[in-house]
Amino acid sequence: MEIKMKTALITGINGQDGSYLADLLLTKDYKIYGMERRTSRKNRVNTGHLEDKITFINGDLADQNSLLRTIKESDPDEIYNLGAMSFVGESWNTPETTGNIDGLGVLRMLEAIREYGKPIKFYQASTSEMFGRVTETPQIETTRFYPRSPYGVSKLYGHWITKNYRESYDIFTCNGILFNHESERRGKEFVTRKITDGVAKIHLGLADHIALGNLDAKRDWGYAPDYVEAMWLMLQHDIPDDYIIATGKSYSIKRFLTKAFSCVGIPDWERYVVQDPRFLRPAEVDVLIGDCSKATRVLGWKPRVSFDEMVSRMVVSDIKLLSGEK
C-alpha cells in the first residue's frame, strides 16, 4: 500500500521558526507550501536554501479570501500558523495592526479551514507573553493569563479562538504555548540577537557598545530547532490539545550578556552596554519560566540544546556572518 506524502502549509515561512520547521518537515518527506505576503522585495534570508525545495505561495493573514485561496491551492494536511507581528516592543506602536494579524488573522485562517471542509490539522503559535504578570511559577497550561502588551493580548485572542473552533466545530487544533526560543536565524530586532550581533561587532572592532533596555528581565530561553519539533509532534498526536514548550530554567538579560561576552573573552561586559530608555516597555513582564512536563509525558518532547550552547552558537554565527565566512 502506497503511503501518501503529507502536505504542510506554513505561514511565516521566512521567519526563524518557519524556516526551521520547513527544514524539519523536509527530513520527514513532506510537500511544503510556505506562505508569504506579496511584496516587491522578498525577505528570504532564512529560506534562501529552501527555494528549490518548497513552494512559496502568496497569502495574507489580513485577507480572508487570500487564505481560502491559499488553502485550496495547497490542499494541506497540516497548517502551521507561525505568521505574526512578533516583536513585542513594536506592538505598542502598532496595536491595531498587531491585533488584526495576531488575533483576527487566526480567526480568518480557522474560518478558511472550516469553509474548505476537508480535515486539516491546525497548529497555532501561542506565546508565553500571554502569561504576562504571572500568577504562579512555573507556568503550566492552566495558569491564569495576564498579558502585558498589545502583542500578548492579541495572541491571547488567537489562542482562545483556536480552542473555541476545536470545541465548536471538531477541528483538530493545537496551541503551542512556546516560551522564548532563539537561534542564529532570530531577527536582529530581538534582544538576544541584538546582543550576539553586538558582541560580534565589538569583537571585530566594528562597534564599541550595545544599547539595551531592561537588563533585569528574566526569560525561559530555548533553542528554536528544538521547539519546532514540538510543533510537529502536537499534530501527530491522536488527540488535539494545548502544550507549554519550555526549558524550565530562567535567565536574566544580564546572564545572557555575561555568556555572550565570555564567548569572545570579555569578562566585564558592563563597560560595553548602555541602557537606553527608548527600549523600555510601557508595561514590563519581569519573569517567565515554563513547565513542559505535559509535553514530555504526552509527546515525548524535551529540550536538547542548553542555554550556554545556544548563546555560543549565536555568537559564533554572527562573527562568521560579519567576517564574510560561510
- Containing 33, the helix (H) or strand (E) segment is strand 31-36
Handedness of CA 184, 309, 256, 175 (dihedral sign): positive
Backbone angles phi, psi at 318, to 5 degrees: -70, -35
Q: Dihedral (C-alpha) 162, 166, 167, 170: value to the nearest 10 degrees?
A: 160
Question: Which three three-digit cell numbers place residue 191?
Answer: 534582544
pLDDT digits (tens, 9 = 90+) for 51-94: 999 999 999 999 999 999 999 999 999 999 999 987 787 888 88
Write down the CATH number for the domain with range 188-219+250-287+306-323.
Answer: 3.90.25.10
**Sequence letter at residue 127:** T
Chain position carrying cell 529560506:
47
Distance CA 142, CA 299 (A): 18
Distance CA 119, CA 130 (A): 29
**Predicted confidence pLDDT, tens digits, the chain (326 residues):** 556 799 999 999 999 999 999 999 999 999 999 999 887 577 899 999 999 999 999 999 999 999 999 999 999 999 999 999 877 878 888 889 999 999 999 999 999 999 999 999 999 999 999 999 999 999 999 999 999 999 999 999 999 999 999 999 999 999 999 999 999 999 998 999 999 999 999 999 999 999 999 999 999 999 999 999 999 999 999 999 999 999 999 999 999 999 999 999 999 999 999 988 888 777 778 889 999 999 999 999 999 999 999 999 999 999 999 998 75
Write down the CATH number for the domain with range 7-181+223-245.
Answer: 3.40.50.720
Share of the chain above pLDDT 70, in %: 98
Handedness of CA 244, 245, 250, 253 (dihedral sign): negative
- Containing 88, the helix (H) or strand (E) segment is none
Contact 160/103 with Cβ under 8 angstroms?
Answer: no
pLDDT digits (tens, 9 = 90+) for 12-60: 999 999 999 999 999 999 999 999 988 757 789 999 999 999 999 999 9
Distance CA 138, CA 101 (A): 29
pTM: 0.94
CATH 3.40.50.720 segments of the chain: 7-181+223-245
CATH 3.90.25.10 segments of the chain: 188-219+250-287+306-323
**Which residues participate in catalysis according to the annotation?**
127, 129, 151
Q: Following DSSP, what letter does each residue of 269-284 receive, concatenated?
A: GGGGEEE-GGGS-SS-
Q: Is the backbone peptide bond immediately before 138 cis, with ω within 30 degrees of 0?
A: yes
